[in-house]
Amino acid sequence: MYPFYTRIAVILFLAITMASTQATSQTCTPQGDQTTSGTSNVWIAYLYQGINFDTYKGYVNRGSASNPAIDESFGGENVNFATNGCDIVTQEFSVRFKLTKTFADANYRFTAGGDDGYRLSIDGGNTWIINNWGEHGYTSSTYDVHLNGSVNLVLEYYERFGANRVTFNVETICVGDGDPTAYGTSNSWIGYLYQGQNFNMYRGYITRGSGSGMQFDENFGSSSGTFNTSNCSITTNDFSARFRTRATLSGSYQFTVGGDDGYRLSLDGGNTWIINRWQGQSYYVSNQTVNGLNGTYNIVLEYYENTGDNRLSFNMTQLTVLPVNLISFTATPNDANKTVLNWSAADAINFNHFMVQKSNDGLQFRDIAKVATQATNSVQNYTYTDVQPGGGKAWYRLAMVDKDGSVRYSTLVAVSIPLTGGFRIYPTVVESNQVFVECATKLNRAQVEWVDMNGRVLQSEKRSFTTGRQVLSVPPTASKTAGTYIVRITGDQGVQTRQHLIIR
């Protein structure tokens, strides 16, 4: 017979073993069917052990009748988290939240976040409007969309190890007013602006052009800021715009469009495009001559901006028929950084002369040289050298002048010359309240002065310049009084640039 203490130890061992065996033999039963969606802003969250929804353990509810927002950390790292069913261990697990919600007719911003992977669907999990399905610290993502009606929301999340957190929020955002299908008239464009590069969310409208002409040059503010419309603002690093105007045209016209990034122009309401440069790019100018126009045209100009600088410009010139045939026209920089223009023309019987014109923005041109021609049917070759092209990009065209004074313009040619002086200011003929400064190098603290022709300083300010193109506002005194003014930019090393501007 065993000693007394030995018998007690055996009894305790058997009791512990039996209790452990009974606990092990008890079966944990997960509750919930894994398919039903929550309602009334309350999600049903189905939890799984394993990061790929491997072993279903049970469900919990999140959200409230007043708000479906979620901010869940599941009790902490590597702990047991209770469900309606079985506990999960809070690493190597996954969750599928489901909610059916009815949305009023409005624009909405969804925000989802997670540590680790998360993704959000508004069509029951068929597609993902937010998808950051990877291992990372806590991040969040947003998506804007227009909704009207019932939506099946699915928010999925998984955690590998370490900290865990999943969040969700939805809010209404500003809705643009106006009718995006209406056209401007009397040389006025209506520009409809959208957040997103593919006309995703309508935010409001602006008007451009005037009774004197349809031309405009718009840079939508800074490269990463906000731009106000009639109703809502847009952020200027991911947006698109659709400008519409209706015009009666007769004869031949040259259309000129420039953009950074993509642009395209249509004369038939957007069915076909006479200019189409729908791609990411720095500012580029295209032109197209269209003959035989006769009637009223629905003109559509579309634009999108990805990241970086933004700019869209438009100009239109009616052409007259001249007794001259322009065969070719080229512009080439030479080794001395001068621009050599060459062209050939024939049939100049009643023709008077060529006027070489130059522009710093592809829209506003000034005369730089007059070139006479001979009255002959034969092909004549011409050349002109611009000995002071300045730095940066420049555009050239030929104004072809008949003996009766009528004018027709050539297509545009462009060249790029290094910025030898570091800066250039354009346009030199100003018809708005701003000009542009293009810089080859950064200038941290510069003195900018506007001076009239009597030597009086109208405005003086300190500012910094980055490389590339930026806006310089015309002071109110100058913008209200037409005339010639001098802009002087002075840095630490003295005067960087000095430019005469004519303000109309």
CB count in 10 Å sphere of residue 283: 18
For tokens 């730095």, the residue is 391
CB count in 10 Å sphere of residue 143: 19
Residue 72 pLDDT > 70, yes or no? Answer: yes
Residue 129 pLDDT > 50, yes or no? Answer: yes
- The top-scoring range by mean pLDDT among 14-18, 209-213, 317-321, 361-365 is 209-213
Alpha helices (runs of H) in 85-151, residue ranges in sequence order: none
Q: Which residues contact 494 (CB under 8 A, 6 or more apart)?
A: none
Express each pLDDT in 405-436 by its tens digit: 888 888 888 887 765 556 778 777 787 788 88
Higher-confidence residue: 479 or 461?
461
Give the rounded distance of the alpha carbon of 327 from its chain centre: 39
CA distance 405 to 399: 11
Q: Find the mean pLDDT for residues 195-220.
A: 90
Residue 276 pLDDT > 70, yes or no? Answer: yes
CA distance 56 to 46: 8
Domains for the chain: give ranges and CATH numbers. Answer: 43-173 (2.60.120.1560), 188-319 (2.60.120.1560), 325-417 (2.60.40.10), 423-503 (2.60.40.10)
DSSP symbol at 495:
E
What pLDDT is stored for residue 387 in this prediction?
A: 82
Question: Among 138-142, 296-300, 424-428, whose mean pLDDT is lowest?
Answer: 424-428
146: helix, coil or strand? Answer: strand
Higher-confidence residue: 479 or 214?
214
What pLDDT is stored for residue 21 in this prediction?
A: 38
For tokens 């999925």, the residue is 156
**Mean of the per-residue pLDDT values for the chain?**
86
Q: Find the mean pLDDT for residues 32-52.
A: 97
Residue 5 pLDDT > 70, yes or no? Answer: no
Dihedral in degrees, nearest 10, Cα atoms 437, 438, 441, 447 = -10
Higher-confidence residue: 315 or 499?
315
Residue 321 pLDDT > 80, yes or no? Answer: no
Higher-confidence residue: 13 or 86?
86
Amino acid, res. 8: I
What pLDDT is stored for residue 497 in this prediction?
A: 66
Tell me the C-alpha to C-alpha distance, in Å, between residue 255 and each of 252, 313, 319, 338.
10, 11, 10, 28
Higher-confidence residue: 320 or 176?
176
Q: What phi and psi, each to the nearest 5 degrees, are found at residue 10?
A: -60, -40
Q: Which residues contact 191 (CB under 8 A, 6 or more apart)?
A: 205, 206, 207, 208, 218, 241, 242, 243, 244
